[in-house]
Amino acid sequence: MDVNKIIEKLPYTKPFLFVDSLSHVNSEGASGSFCFQKDLDFYQGHFKQNPVTPGVILTECCAQIGLVCLGIFLLSETPETNMNDLEMAFSSSQMEFYLPVYPGETVYVSSEKLYFRFNKLKCKVKMHNSAKELVCKGELAGMIKYSTYEE
């Protein structure tokens, strides 16, 4: 599946889409990037007069690129997929954070599949900044499938 098709399939949109581009997706992992534009709403409150990207948003960015984009690719590789309504749920996250991400920074996420069984995808994820420094890493998991309703 083409990377642009994967991004089209993502069920997010602004202000909660944290994927700008995907550089690489195969059955073992996905990598892509996102630029945190300075005018993003949450910088007004996190923190007062000191905008820093919240860890939950970094986790979400890792999940969208590393887990969901990879999940959409993996589902496209399985037979009998209707590809209509994507159903998914974030089920676990275990993250560690090393460096802050400030407004205007671009981050690069890469994931490595641990397993994809019975519609559960678990991955190791890493996020680096433009200086190739590790921003955060961890393990994320979720359930992902296309709905199988009958007409």
Partner 1 sequence: MKEENYYQKLKGIIKPYLPEDVTIDDISPDSHFINELNINSANLVDIVLDVEDAFDITLENDDMDQMQTVNDAMAIIDKKRTSK
Which residues would be at the binding site for partner 1 (CB under 8 A)? 89, 91-92, 115, 117-120, 141-143
Provide the minimum distance between the beta carbon of 70 and partner 1 in the complex, in angstroms, as a whole number: 16
Task: Please give the structure tokens belonging to residue 85.
Answer: 């309504």
Burial 24-62, CB ≥16 within 10 A → b, else e? ebeeebbbbbbebeeebeebeebeeeebebebebbbbbb
Provide the minimum distance between the beta carbon of 115 and partner 1 in the complex, in angstroms, as a whole number: 7
If the CB atoms of residues 46 and 145 are measured against partner 1, the closer one turns out to be: 145
C-alpha angle 78-30-142 in degrees, rounded to nearest 5: 65
Residue 133: DSSP 8-state: -
If the CB atoms of residues 87 and 133 are measured against partner 1, the closer one turns out to be: 87
If the CB atoms of residues 76 and 93 are measured against partner 1, the closer one turns out to be: 93
Provide the minimum distance between the beta carbon of 64 and partner 1 in the complex, in angstroms, as a whole number: 18
